[in-house]
Amino acid sequence: MPDTLLYDALRKVFGFHAFRPNQENIVRAILAGQDVFAVMPTGGGKSLCYQLPAVLLPGTCMVISPLIALMKDQVDGARANGIRASFLNSSQLPDERDEVMRDLLSNSLDLLYVAPERFTLEHFREMIGRVKISMAVIDEAHCISEWGHDFRPDYLSLSALVTIFSDIPVAAFTATATNQVQHDILEKLALRNPLVVRASFDRPNLSYDVRFKDNPEAQLVQLLKGNQGKAGIIYRTSRKNVNDTAAMLQAKGYRVLPYHAGLSDAERKRNQDAFIRDEVDVIVATIAFGMGIDKSNIRFVIHADLPKSIENYYQETGRAGRDGEPAQCTLLFAQGDIPKVRFFIDAMLDETERARALGALTKVIAFAGNSVCRRKTLLDYFGESYPHENCNSCDICLGSREVVDCTREAQMLLSAMVRTEERFGAMHIVDIVSGSDNKKIRDFGHDRLKTYGVGKEHEKKYWRQLIDELLAQKVIEKSEGLYPTLFLLPKAIQLLKGEVHIQIVRVQEKKKATSHRAKSEVASTPYNQKLFDLLRILRKQIADEQGIPPYVVFSDRTLHDMAANFPRTAETMLTVSGVGEVKLERYGRQFLRLIDRFCSDHNLDYSKPGIPAEC
């Protein structure tokens, strides 16, 4: 296909002036009739890889996706760009499905999303045999692999695609797949000489931060204060924790709603829609939330409990910053969380599944507890080497790391455990060495121990972290049960005798960035905040009128470009990333009028470069 036709469609339909990495190769392969398998991270632009060919090829592109909750948003987004799109799933009324079928049979659709369950129905397969299908797409292809983190049995039927569609390209996409999962997908789908693309798993706009979990309620409040008015997700492991956290934050005045499987279908949908439509800022959720979310302007994701696996953590953090703008990912971690996860793993009846879950947990603990660049650790997991020493965007690389010998302090803790006959938990041992004056200490006479108050010079947080480190380094162990106690392992005796030493890595105050990353790669262009806020209000008004999510109108990145460059004509508006001809026609005049009024109100000479960031 001629370059002019390809780039014209990219610009006119999607409002983009260049492809992101890997997109052009994938699009050209599909247009040439070649099968494709692509692993592309969330935010990498995989939907464009099939939507652009869907516009250029005759017939209908059929996309098989497990995310029923997401289909409407995907269709709204495609229609906003002028693409003739619809979906078929069980959420529709019979009349709605009949209308879609009529459009499909009359060749009036460029794009059709269907659930895998529908694809297995014989009458549906018979019907699409009478339709001109341009290509078949499998989204979330990791669902076909039993080694993946979200295996769906219905996906196994998709192995028939290359037989059913023997003369058109079949493309499979996923945002997360280890090399083992990738091999399994390719084997099951039996794609024909496919173009295989394994894009970098690096998300340069995301920053990673692991913090010692001390007082999670206060820590969450502090994190939300730093992200006032921004969209975010807080993940908790249990429904009770979700409800308690949401209620606590609501009481403090934050716009927050809960989401978990214990809520009614109607309430879950209502809360999810409120989040998608910017009516609340934060969702507190179990991992049941997220697979159906295409919201591009999520600015932070907080894990207040341990994720199940590195894949889960990568996918859940990947819901932040889909628009390419900077976003923050924070994990609150303490060794005390591990037994809670182990409880559920130990209850698994299938030995293979239990071993797999335990292995996944071990890798998550290693990720949270080590002193290696977070980005490097994540990429290593997916078989990718990170080529730089400093990523400039994780807590390890932004902190001055210092190896501290804490043998003496560790001996204090171990001595307190010995003198209390290894019958008490971590908090009680901390209270002893820090000299706490509480009833339990006095009742047991532990205020008369030699180790009572020997560590007053350190805060309790320090001692709790040191206990975590002793657990991680297999110096001590924690008993099973509702009230776990600490007991010594063989290495503890050596440490008490001074035969071995123990060191911990402490991350001090943040330092100036010295990494390879140019600031422009991870931060948005400076823009006028006041104009951006007004553009957001207008976007919300338009979205509410049309019954679509605000980010479908324009992404945050597009509004940032407008607030940085002050487009004043239709021609200059088309130079803004994300503004194609259809969106210009539908929304452009309203945004141009607002920008014109803003310049006039603030006496700005928009014809000159260098509009001030503040007015």
Tens of pLDDT along 554-595? 999 999 999 999 999 999 999 999 999 999 999 999 999 999
CATH of domain 3-198: 3.40.50.300
Give Cα 232 distance to the centre of its chain.
Answer: 10
Give tens-digit pLDDT for 217-257. 999 999 999 999 899 999 998 899 999 999 999 999 999 99
Does residue 496 surpass a pLDDT of 80?
yes
pLDDT of residue 521: 44
The phi, psi pair for 106, rounded to 5°, reads: -95, 10
Tokens matching residue 238: 């249990």
pLDDT of residue 609: 44
Q: Which fold has domain 206-389?
A: Rossmann fold (3.40.50)
Give tens-digit pLDDT for 257-296. 999 989 998 998 899 989 999 999 999 998 866 555 778 8
Give tens-digit pLDDT for 372-431. 899 999 999 988 999 888 899 999 888 756 678 889 999 999 999 999 999 999 999 999
Tokens matching residue 364: 């998550």
Q: How confident is the model at residue 518 (pLDDT cuts 50, 70, 90)?
A: very low
- Closest Cα to residue 395, out of 328, 446, 347, 462? 328
Amino acid at 436: S
CA distance 525 to 205: 13
Q: Domain residues of the chain, as ranges? A: 3-198, 206-389, 407-501, 524-601
pTM here is 0.80
524-601 is a CATH 1.10.1200.10 domain: no
Q: Which fold has domain 407-501?
A: Arc Repressor Mutant, subunit A (1.10.10)
CA distance 548 to 550: 6
For residue 98, give the 3-state DSSP assignment.
helix
Helix axes 351-369, 374-381, angle to 10 degrees: 150
pLDDT of residue 371: 77
CA distance 602 to 614: 10
CA distance 195 to 212: 44
pLDDT of residue 520: 35
* CA-to-CA dists, residue 45 to 22, 74, 456, 504, angstroms: 9, 13, 54, 41
Give tens-digit pLDDT for 434-461. 999 899 999 999 999 999 999 999 888 8
Q: What is the mean pLDDT of the chain?
A: 88
- Closest Cα to residue 277, out of 543, 607, 530? 543
Helix axes 3-14, 23-31, angle to 10 degrees: 120
Number of alpha carbons in the 13 Å side-chain half-sphere of residue 256: 24
Same fold, 3-198 and 407-501: no
For residue 14, give the 3-state DSSP assignment.
helix
Q: How confident is the model at residue 151 (pLDDT cuts 50, 70, 90)?
A: confident
CA distance 476 to 498: 16
pLDDT of residue 289: 67
CA distance 104 to 244: 47
